Chain A
């Protein structure tokens, strides 16, 4: 029997490892019945110490590979922002052709990332046939990325003062073929995601983020643009070849005439951005200037310049999820970076999660949370394992191996008896 006038709230921990979340994070949800009244976000479960390594172990060129491994999906925008910061700190200007190649690769990444997200969003609401369809479609761009860079995931395209591989005239037809494929199926994708009744029911007026909240909580990327914030680094403070292109930030009112700021609007923004990326790549292929792709091909020389350089730089890149910023400080005579600070887009977008989830139903948590396209490995960096004081043991490789060997011995002893 329900006691009138008395409400009880329960705290439900979701995560760090939970079937509804693809990456480790903990959400403490305070619920009253099915309704969420408060949310606490607890991060830090996959902290890896990348900044620390860049300041203590690796030299600035080796750091490019570390930056690439900050995130598996955004493995272009992190090195992109990093090299821009280092170039600014050391006064290196990359050749014009390299600026165009950088942009082409970055836009390919955006296409694959948005399609990956679209699949996950469909999966979260239990629409798995769409999930399979979208990921099948995504394979085309993955093949193209492999064709251009030689690898599907970590592409190793960036180098301080340029790029490592050229995109030649002979490769253009193959690139245009994939772009044509996406243009031909774009309307189909649009129908599936924007007109389907199930998707509309689950995403319309769910997980609303108002424009003032988005601005106050410093939200970035498609999450902010879906709330009507006109903000895109490619438009506002364009870097590389974006400075030559006239890019407009995409907001949902371009399609629907209004801004609601719900999950549905976030789908619109990402979908339209796929189309925008195709146009950007086409434009870059047409206008790519000839010339060298590296300011200084001898890496030993670059390393020497960086060792003697003194200065600081900020690199900002518009990743698929929003603004990535790298701050770098170089000290003359120091082999490693003096300071390296990375900020990935999910870091700030997570702050909007409590606002978005408050008032939502428990069953909406997976899709609403997924709608900001959270990327935990980006946000969490730096772990220091303390074996002496740590009671909640963090096991090292050797300890685990030792335990494993012990168990084998124990079992074989039991068998022998």
Chain B
């Protein structure tokens, strides 16, 4: 396996995704006394090319490690970041690779990647129940953490009207915020 530099990785994504590549960001920081580099890459892609981007990640590293999917309520849209790491097993060479996708709130859908990364199932299930993003083609559609009697259509991580505000417990002697 050839180890590319962060700049080369960004270029390879540009070449693979064409016009679906939106932007990229390279983060570098010197650490501790010896000033070795700590590096991370963020790649912003259009939703249509999302699976293509994951396929490309699998080309850079056989079995890329997906740490977690983070999701942010950005007002009109939901920002998903797939936190991958590649080049593990090599001293100082591992890179964090965040694949960022923006989904408009009126169409919160993203295809599953469990066929390429089977271990993504838990985090996809969590994203679905907590943020209300529909994972199209998910092999196990059940909830993960939320209990079965939790109301449908309420998503704890949302900051809009679909958030859990009505469910909050008001302590005795306090008023509802």
User: Is there contact, CB below 8 Å, between B72 and A343?
Assistant: no
Interchain CB contact under 8 A, B94 and A233: yes
Contacts of B145 in A (CB 8 A): 43-44, 47, 380-382
Chain A residue nearest in CB terms to B93: A236
By beta carbon, the residue of chain A nearest B39 is A237
CA distance A52 to B145 in the complex (A): 14
Is A361 engaged at the interface, CB distance under 8 Å to the other chain? Answer: no
**Residues of A with C-beta under 8 A to B18:** none
A325, CB-defined interface residue at 8 Å: yes
Given contacts A218-B66, A289-B33, A384-B167, contact A314 B96 (CB under 8 A): yes
A243-B34 contact given A236-B93, A348-B119, A386-B149, CB 8 Å threshold: yes
Which chain B residue has the least Cβ–Cβ distance from A240? B32
CB-CB under 8 A from B90, the residues of chain A are 236
| A392 in the interface (beta carbon within 8 A) | yes
Chain A interface category by residue count: 35 or more
C-alpha gap A308/B74 in the complex (Å) = 18
Known contacts A44-B145, A314-B83, A351-B121; is A386 also within 8 Å of B151 by CB? yes
- A339 CA to B74 CA, complexed, in Å: 10
Q: Does A230 have its Cβ within 8 Å of any Cβ on chain B?
A: yes
Which residues between 141 and 159 of chain B lie within 8 Å of chain A, taking CB atoms? 143-147, 149-151, 156-157
B37-93: which residues lie under 8 A (CB-CB) from chain A?
38-40, 63, 65-68, 70-72, 81, 83, 85, 87-93
Name the one of B31, B81, B123 contacting A238, with C-beta atoms under 8 angstroms: B31
Among A88, A240, A351, A386, the one with the most B-chain Cβ atoms within 10 Å of its Cβ is: A386
Contact B144–A44 (Cβ < 8 Å): yes
27 interchain pairs, CB-CB under 8 A: A47-B145, A51-B157, A52-B164, A99-B32, A215-B63, A229-B89, A230-B89, A236-B92, A236-B94, A238-B91, A243-B31, A243-B32, A243-B92, A244-B33, A325-B68, A325-B83, A338-B72, A339-B70, A343-B68, A347-B68, A347-B123, A348-B122, A350-B122, A380-B145, A382-B156, A384-B156, A392-B149
Residues of chain B at the chain A interface (Cβ within 8 Å): 27, 29, 31-34, 36, 38-40, 63, 65-68, 70-72, 81, 83, 85, 87-96, 98, 117-123, 130, 143-147, 149-151, 156-157, 164, 167-169, 172
